[in-house]
Amino acid sequence: MINDIRVGALIAYCSVKRGNKKTLIFIVFVLSLIFMNLVFLPSMIGGLSGLFTGFMQDYPYGDIVIEPMGDNTYINNADNVLKKVRAVEGVRAGTKRLDVGASINHKQKVVGVTITGMLPTEEYEISRYPYIISEGDFLSDLSRDEIIIGAMIAGTGFGSEIYDNLGEVRPGAFVDVTYSNGVKRTYKVKGIMEGTFEVVDLNALVHYKEIEDVYGLEGKEATSVVVRVDEQGTEAQIQDKIREAGVNEQIFTWADKSESLIRQAMQSMGAIDIMSKIVSLIVGAALVLIIIYINVLNRKKEIGILKAVGITPRSIVLSYAFLSTFYVSLGISAGLVLYLSLMFYFQANPVTFYETMEISPTIDPVLLIQSVVTMLTLSVIAGILPAWSVSRESILKAIWGR
Amino acid sequence: MIIVKDLKRCYGTGDTAVRALKGVSFEINKGEFVAIMGASGSGKTTLLRILALLDDATGGEYTIRGLKVSSLPEAERSYYRLTQVGYIFQDYALISEMSAAENVYLLSMMEGKSKKESYKTALEALEKVGLKGKHDRVPDELSGGEKQRVAIARAIAKKPDILFADEPCANLDTTNSKQVLDVFKELNEKYGQTIVMVTHEPWHTDYVDRVITFKDGSLLSDEKKMKE
Ligand SMILES: Nc1ncnc2c1ncn2[C@@H]1O[C@H](COP(=O)(O)OP(=O)(O)OP(=O)(O)O)[C@@H](O)[C@H]1O
Ligand SMILES: [Mg+2]
């Protein structure tokens, strides 16, 4: 076997060293494109899901979100939960929120929204809501009859054409809100928020006390407690610590949350991605198969001669295995260079999506390793097959064709 | 050394079957330089391929040094081809992407010799066929006669029991043919190499000890020549 490997390597080495360089370059070029194709789209999708995940952290869920247990609508003692949470080491900030359903009415136009009741001053530490006010101002602690509405429902932001909206509501305008329990309130629009994200721009914000009041709550309930940690990456540990601190509600990290969310959102993307991967793998394998097959056919006589002078069929097959490994490794390396340059380009110049959402691709090492391994395996198999079939032919047939 | 008994080879079956060898018997002794002659289609190549284990006989028996090689399994035949018999093709059959030395030492490496040792063996063999200093050239940079001598070097590097050559000079002019035949002659005389060579040219028989003539797949004549 050792001899087979040595001889196989020598044959492959000579055929690379003295073979046609143009063909080599061409093969490597095409293989590099195939590799690119394999990893590029997933990186873009990765960038997209990273973006969504970022939104999830920045708005509804924070780093860790605590939600009511089981069928409960509310966390019963949110202040108590908050107290425990804030005492946990590594927690930067926490706040409680109340999400309710409502409809907003303005000059005969009605849209359904989720209204989040929040404590405005605490939100500066928790979310990006205070920072995305495109017109007017964010809520203050005294904002009891004021409301912030999303740009998409206000009818001023991007996406207004897609969704029902109130038709250009500006700060200072008055809107009527009917809560899910039938209570009606009139609010003055204090600001318009534009997060270029539907979950945000289709919502409205009021003071926590308002919701408490409307629903007759007693100052302790919340539909969620949102937590931010000091250091990204420690979410899972802190999730455990919060549980240990005696919080008997459901505790999710943003990763838990986005997993299910992204999974839904990305399902169709994922299908496209998998299909494109399979196609490029098949194309890649077929290409290597064809290249090696033509090579083998051209050298059928040589293979016969090698056998005739006593070279084992195994060394011959091995030489083609080495050869295709070499082609593919070069192809992958070239592909990697190409890929990384494209990645850096797109990270510097993100693709805009939805006019305002900037997607910069993410480089996922696991994906890269996976792609390298699959491409190598498939190509080597594709490279070996033709050589194997020819090396099994009789010597006479290989050399003299009959 | 070689004993061939009633060797038969039939190509194809039924009506279209060609009986290329109709049962030939002869012996070749160690150290002989034998020419095989005969009209085109008389079965010379067919015989040689069988003797060199590149093809199977359809009947008869064939022994080399008492070993019945005609019934060996393929793996052993492959090893035998590698270590015991040398075969020289009419069209040299060199690997075009390998230098003269590489063409030769590939086989030594297959036999398991170290790279250094293989290289040394290859250079020795190339020197024997008069190609000293040309070991780094690829086949395209060599003349026909030189290519054929590389092929001979490849065949003799492993010090085979017998060397087979099927019309080794068919593609060569007289000068190159002479060079090749001289190499054969020297190998035969100096190292006692047994050689069986198929040829069409009557003047080639000046170099050999014995001439076997074929006709229609059978032995026509077998004459020993007196050494000068
Ligand atoms: N693979 C084959 N299939 C069928 N018939 C074959 C095959 N090889 C050779 N023959 C036939 O067998 C006979 C002997 O052929 P062979 O090649 O041994 O002749 P040869 O003496 O070497 O001729 P030449 O001097 O032209 O080389 C010929 O009639 C030839 O047509
Ligand atoms: Mg012939």
- Ligand 1 centre distance from Cα of residue A228 (Å): 88
Average pLDDT, chain B: 89
Say whether both B17 and B123 belong to one domain.
no
Backbone angles phi, psi at A220, to 5 degrees: -125, -15
* Ligand 1 pocket residues where CB is under 6 Å: A 402; B 11-12, 18, 20, 38, 40-46
Residue whose CA is at the smallest distance from ligand 1 atom 18: B43
Say whether both B154 and B185 belong to one domain.
no
Say whether both B4 and B33 belong to one domain.
yes
Percent share of chain A, pLDDT over 70: 95
Give the residue from B113, B142, B159 where a domain finishes. Answer: B159
Residue whose CA is at the smallest distance from ligand 1 atom 27: B40
State whether B96 and A10 contact (CB < 8 Å): no
Confidence of residue A120 (pLDDT cuts 50, 70, 90): very high
Q: Which B-chain residues 119-138 have CB contacts (< 8 A) with chain A?
A: 138
Structural domain contains residue B89: no
**pLDDT attached to residue A267:** 66
Say whether both B79 and B11 belong to one domain.
yes
Say whether both B4 and B67 belong to one domain.
yes
**A309, A322, A323, A393: best to mutate for the B interface, most B CBs within 10 A:** A309
Average pLDDT, chain A: 86
- Ligand 2 centre distance from Cα of residue A230 (Å): 87
Residue whose CA is at the smallest distance from ligand 1 atom 19: B41
Say whether both B4 and B111 belong to one domain.
no
State whether A6 and B55 contact (CB < 8 Å): no
- Ligand 1 centre distance from Cα of residue B177 (Å): 24
pLDDT in tens, A51-64: 777 888 888 889 99
Whole-number Å distance between alpha carbons of B154 and B35:
21
User: What's the half-sphere exposure (Cβ side, CA atoms, 13 Å) at A317?
Assistant: 15
Confidence of residue A123 (pLDDT cuts 50, 70, 90): very high
Chain B residues touching residue A2 (CB < 8 angstroms): 112
State whether B110 and A312 contact (CB < 8 Å): yes
Whole-number Å distance between alpha carbons of A273 and A41:
7
Confidence of residue B30 (pLDDT cuts 50, 70, 90): very high
Say whether both B10 and B79 belong to one domain.
yes
DSSP track, B74-88: HHHHHHHHHHTEEEE
Above 70 in pLDDT, residue A310?
yes
Say whether both B168 and B144 belong to one domain.
no
pLDDT in tens, B53-109: 888 889 899 998 888 887 888 788 888 887 888 899 888 889 988 999 999 989 889
Whole-number Å distance between alpha carbons of B213 and B191:
26
The ipTM is 0.85
Tokens of B113: 């010799």
Percent share of chain B, pLDDT over 90: 46
CATH code: domain of residue B60 = 3.40.50.300
Substitution site in B15, B37, B44 for ligand 1 pocket (most atoms within 8 Å of beta carbon):
B44
Say whether both B1 and B70 belong to one domain.
yes
| B87 min Cα distance to partner chain A (Å) | 7
**Residue A173 CB burial class (10 angstroms; 0-12, 13-18, ≥19):** middle
Closest ligand to C-alpha of residue B36 is 1
Q: What domain range includes position B210?
A: 1-84+160-228
Say whether both B213 and B227 belong to one domain.
yes
Residue whose CA is at the smallest distance from ligand 1 atom 6: B11
Its pTM stands at 0.72
* CA A171 to each of CA A116, A152, A166, A192, A392: distance values in angstroms, whole numbers, following the listed order: 18, 14, 13, 7, 82
Say whether both B168 and B79 belong to one domain.
yes
Structural domain contains residue B183: yes
Give the residue from B159, B175, B201 where a domain finishes. Answer: B159
State whether B107 and A3 contact (CB < 8 Å): no
Task: Tell me, yes or no, if B96 comes closer than 8 A to chain A by beta carbon.
Answer: yes
Confidence of residue B42 (pLDDT cuts 50, 70, 90): very high
Whole-number Å distance between alpha carbons of A167 and A381:
62
CB contact at 8 A, A134 and A192: yes
State whether B112 and A395 contact (CB < 8 Å): no
- How many Cβ contacts (< 8 angstroms) between chains A and B? 69
Say whether both B223 and B137 belong to one domain.
no
List helix spans (H) across A139-253: 151-154, 198-201, 208-215, 235-244
State whether B97 and A311 contact (CB < 8 Å): no
Structural domain contains residue B34: yes
Question: Per the structure, how many domains does chain B have?
Answer: 2
Does an H or E element contain B124, and which?
Answer: helix B115-128
Chain A residues touching residue B138 (CB < 8 angstroms): 18
Above 80 in pLDDT, residue A327?
yes
Q: Which B-chain residues 12-71 have CB contacts (< 8 A) with chain A?
A: 49, 52, 54-55
